[in-house]
Amino acid sequence: MARKGKIIINRELCKGCYLCVRACPLKVLGQDTELNSSGTYPSKAVQEEKCIACGNCYEVCPDVCIDVYEL
């Protein structure tokens, strides 16, 4: 059985560098369509059902605004 995961991104801490988007092997993450309070488009889980909880996004995030959980 394949691993399943859940990603939680703190929208207000995310500065929109998208390092996590590039690090995701399954293209789970993408750009949000709504601005956060600092005026940037944060990252967002756009295909969360594909997440395998690999943790790549967590590892590359310079602002520590991503939590990854294995389900």
Give the chain's domain count: 1
* pLDDT the model gives residue 31: 97
CA–CA distance, 67 with 57 (Å, rounded to integer)? 9
Confidence of residue 1 (pLDDT cuts 50, 70, 90): low
Range of the domain at 12: 5-70
Confidence of residue 50 (pLDDT cuts 50, 70, 90): very high
CATH of the domain at 65: 3.30.70.20
Mean pLDDT to the nearest integer, 37-53 = 97
Mean pLDDT, the chain, integer: 96
pLDDT digits (tens, 9 = 90+) for 18-30: 999 999 999 999 9
Reported as type and span, the H/E element at residue 31 is strand 29-31
